[in-house]
């Protein structure tokens, strides 16, 4: 197995281990303490697409669905860059879900006694988890030179998470009114201070 594939596998393992506690907490919270949950395909479809991408990343680690080795070897610097992006944004995703603390859920919901998180990474960007998911998947796809991961990330995951973020903003704006509108003016949608 190639060193980049081994490092990608290690990164996937570490990311999954770091996200495990948040996932368990998110499942428990979303079942018990929900005040409002919009009914939308955006609740399940974007996370399910991310799971499919994760499966394709696993395939890529074992050289399934990737460019031939003789072509990949010509792009080792690009692959290393993809690996760095993958590690950086996997870490940022963990930071973002931990910043939410008890308000982290896997669904778009308003919890009972919900508070707006505007500190940590959320001070400058409103949707760091979605951005991190997209860029970590894209980075892994580039590191592996996967012709399955890269197009699925760009053509399905990216637009779905943008739509999901907009639905989330609509719900938060409804619940927090002027407080959320002020927060929107002081932070960026996916990029700090833009949007």
* Mean pLDDT in residue range 20-29: 60
Position 35 scores a pLDDT of 84
Position 114 scores a pLDDT of 87
The domain at 52-98+117-188 falls in which architecture?
Up-down Bundle (1.20)
Q: Does residue 99 surpass a pLDDT of 90?
A: no
Place 31 in a pLDDT band, splitting at 50, 70 and 90: low
Q: Does residue 168 surpass a pLDDT of 90?
A: yes
3-state secondary structure the chain: CCHHHHHHHHHHHHHHHHHHHHHHHHHHHHHHCEEECCCCHHHCHHHHHHHHHHHHHHHHHCCCCECCHHHHHHHHHHHHHHHHHHHHHHHHHHHHHHHHHHHCCCCCCEECCCCCCCCHHHHCECCHHHHHHHHHHHHHHHHHCECCHHHHHHHHHHHHHHHHHHHHHHHHHHHHCHHHHHHHHHCECCECCEC
Q: Does residue 190 surpass a pLDDT of 70?
A: yes
* Mean pLDDT in residue range 59-80: 96
When the pLDDT of each residue in the chain is averaged and rounded to a whole number, the result is: 91
Q: Does residue 24 surpass a pLDDT of 90?
A: no
User: Mean pLDDT: which of 108-117, 118-127, 161-170 is highest?
Assistant: 161-170
The more confident residue out of 82 and 96 is 82
């Amino acid at each position: 197995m190639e060193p980049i594939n081994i490092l990608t596998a290690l990164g996937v393992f570490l990311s999954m281990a770091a996200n495990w506690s948040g996932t368990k907490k998110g499942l428990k919270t979303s079942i018990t303490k929900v005040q409002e949950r919009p009914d939308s395909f955006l609740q399940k479809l974007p996370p399910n697409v991310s799971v499919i991408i994760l499966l394709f990343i696993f395939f890529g680690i074992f050289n399934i669905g990737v460019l031939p080795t003789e072509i990949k070897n010509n792009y080792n610097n690009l692959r290393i860059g993809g690996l760095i992006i993958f590690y950086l944004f996997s870490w940022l995703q963990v930071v973002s879900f931990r910043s939410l603390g008890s308000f982290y859920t896997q669904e778009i919901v308003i919890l009972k006694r919900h508070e707006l998180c505007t500190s940590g990474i959320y001070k400058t960007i409103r949707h760091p988890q979605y951005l991190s998911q997209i860029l970590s998947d894209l980075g892994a796809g580039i590191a592996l030179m996967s012709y399955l991961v890269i197009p699925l990330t760009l053509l399905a995951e990216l637009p779905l998470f943008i739509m999901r973020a907009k639905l989330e903003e609509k719900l938060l704006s409804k619940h927090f009114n002027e407080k959320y509108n002020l927060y929107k003016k002081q932070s960026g949608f996916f990029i700090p201070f833009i949007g």
